[in-house]
Chains A and B, each alone.
Chain A
Amino acid sequence: MGTVPSALKHCLSYQHLLKEQLWIGEPAAPPPALHPEQEFQISGLPDYVKIVEVGPRDGLQNEKVTVPTDIKIELINRLSKAGLSVIEATSFVSSKWVPQMADHTEVMRRIERHPGVQYPVLTPNLQGFHSAIAAGATEVSVFGAASESFNKMNINCSIEESIEKFEEVIKSAQNMNIPVRGYVSCALGCPYEGNIIPAKVVEVSKQLYSMGCYEISLGDTIGVGTPGSMKRMLEAVMKEIPVSALAVHCHDTYGQALANILTAIQGVNLYKVMEAGNFICTALNKKTNSKVAQASFNV
């Protein structure tokens, strides 16, 4: 804004600037108690937000290059040190379909398991579930969708058929006291069907929840949602599922993710997350998508 200044070398470093934002703290310290005058919490926000880090699985699965196993393990270990409490490690799906996740067993066996951190893995069917348990998994995820077309194109079966497969997984998991997280894709729109009605999202979410998923992650798979459509969908789902069992998974395809999420982050060491991100981008030889990182790593 205004004229471009010439004295840029006197600018504060990004570390200084970020430190002054109250909510960026040291990893070990609890969230700082807000000074009464500084209490600017927007009403309705939770005090704590659990971030489920899906980079090592959802992220890497969708990158064009297949990342070496050692790099994946290093990434997960770095993320573990960043204070994240849940890190989706890998996917026990056939390597024929998802070659990028072919090393699932080795990844699961070799990552450092930090106390207090969960390492859920994807298990699309009973076979995958058994392999996951054999490899040491202690939490699993199943992926449903609110769109028939998406299901058909993705896993070649109807929503009904996919739910039957998940039921087997969930039953076995319950027998072994293994928690299961349920995902519902296309919650705000489908690449094949377009608009998705909230009632359909409610139906699929309710089925997964009543089958025994401890949490349902509602995914805006193609990132078309905006704050209004997010609100309408969540209001419908919250009539059937307690909000404490809900999560959102917003894609940033149209730049709407943060507006759709709009919550505070607490208890996570931002610098370590950024370092982990920088590490994997160097390994992938690509630019980060994080604007915070772009603003900070300005060499």
Chain B
Amino acid sequence: MVVAKRALPWLAASLRPNIVPTQVKISFINMLSETGLPVIEATSFVSPKWVPQMADHTEVLQGIQKFPGVSYPVLTPNLKGFQAAVAAGAKEVSIFGAASELFTKKNINCSIEESLQRFSEVMHAAGEASIPVRGYVSCVLGCPYEGKIAPAKVAEVSKKMYSMGCYEISLGDTIGVGTPGSMKEMLSAVMKEVPVRALAVHCHDTYGQALANTLVALQMGVSVVDSSVAGLGGCPYAQGASGNVATEDLVYMLHGLGIHTGVDLQKLMEAGVFICKALNRRTSSKVVQASSRL
């Protein structure tokens, strides 16, 4: 089984209060390109008014080395962002939906239905330009505002985004409250509507459950997993808590299971050490913590 992993440097950097210099971001993404990761989410074409840390999106996308065989998708929340992304050379884009009405309202000030309408404009334009679109569904195992989320709702939103033309749906446990049982329940519901080869999981490690939840997803046939080197990107809902699962820890588990990833763990760890130095923060990867004791 080949498992593709997606590193999320843009997401990670967007949750930090200080802005990372553009050149550091470019060097960082170039280092990740050398590790063998097949997909690296590079930046976000969202208004700098909302996400100032991503204001340099055009410069980043144009400045990075584009390795053959590696995809560099970018976030495009609306048509304007999409057009700017394509003008900057983007070859793949992502759109972010949610399985929670309240989360969508608080996040982008509209209903799920309205957000999907906005996305359909992007889908249409992307279709014309032959640009693949990946769909994200947030809050699949719980919402910081609504609490419990019904698997049927996740299946509904996923189905809509998939039938709109997203080639893949990444199911995100945004607040990391899920456990293997709820992951199984949610995936069982979604898999009735979307083929498993078009599904990915994006587990947050806020409650330490990410790898256990990911393992269950793998056992159910999912073969695409999102992660963030060094576990960058905390949790805006629980200060001091962790967020993304560390790519190093995920790769350690997958390699231990004999699953191919194409990733060089050593080079990955070096990329993580580099960005943590630049951010002046400790890595969230236990593998790196264990290795640096030697």
Contacts and interface: CB of A to CB of B under 8 A. Distances in A.
Interface of A: 1-8, 10-12, 14, 16-18, 20-21, 23, 38, 40-42, 223, 225-229, 252-256, 258-259, 261-262, 264, 290-292, 294-298
Interface string B100-111: 000100111000
Contacts of B246: 255
Given A3-B50, A21-B177, A227 B285 contact: no
B207 interface: yes
Contacts of B177: 17-18, 21
Contacts of A17: 142, 144, 147, 175, 177
Which of A40, A252, A292 has the largest count of B CB atoms less than 10 A from its CB? A40
B208 A290 contact: yes
B237 to A, nearest CB: 5
B249 A291 contact: no
B154 to A, nearest CB: 14
Interface in B227-265: 235-242, 246, 249, 252-253, 255-258
Give chain B's interface residue range (CB within 8 Å of chain A). 35 or more
Contacts of B240: 294, 297-298
29 contacts: A1-B138, A2-B96, A3-B51, A4-B51, A5-B103, A5-B236, A7-B106, A8-B237, A12-B146, A16-B147, A17-B144, A17-B177, A21-B177, A21-B182, A23-B179, A40-B181, A40-B184, A226-B253, A226-B257, A229-B256, A254-B249, A264-B180, A291-B207, A291-B208, A292-B207, A294-B241, A295-B206, A295-B238, A297-B240
Nearest to B14: A4
Interface stretch (B20-28, B210-218, B271-279): B210-218
Contacts of A40: 181-182, 184-185, 188
B242 A228 contact: no
Contacts of A3: 46, 50-51, 77, 107-108
Given A1-B11, A4-B15, A253-B290, A259 B215 contact: yes
Contacts of A12: 144-147
A2 B215 contact: no
Which of B11, B107, B285 has the largest count of A CB atoms less than 10 A from its CB? B107
Interface in B180-216: 180-182, 184-185, 188, 202, 205-209, 211-212, 214-216
A292 B206 CA distance: 7
DSSP class of A's interface residues: helix, strand, loop or mixed? Answer: loop
Given A264-B179, A298-B239, 4 more contacts: A2-B75, A3-B108, A256-B249, A295-B207
A11 B145 contact: yes
Contacts of A292: 207-208
A262 B180 contact: yes
A17 to B, nearest CB: 6
Contacts of A258: 208-209, 211-212
B98 interface: yes
Contacts of A23: 179, 181
B286 interface: yes
Given A20-B142, A228-B257, A291-B208, A254 B252 contact: yes
A14 B237 CA distance: 10
Contacts of A4: 14-15, 50-51, 236
B209 A226 contact: no
Contact of B98 (A2, A255, A297): A2
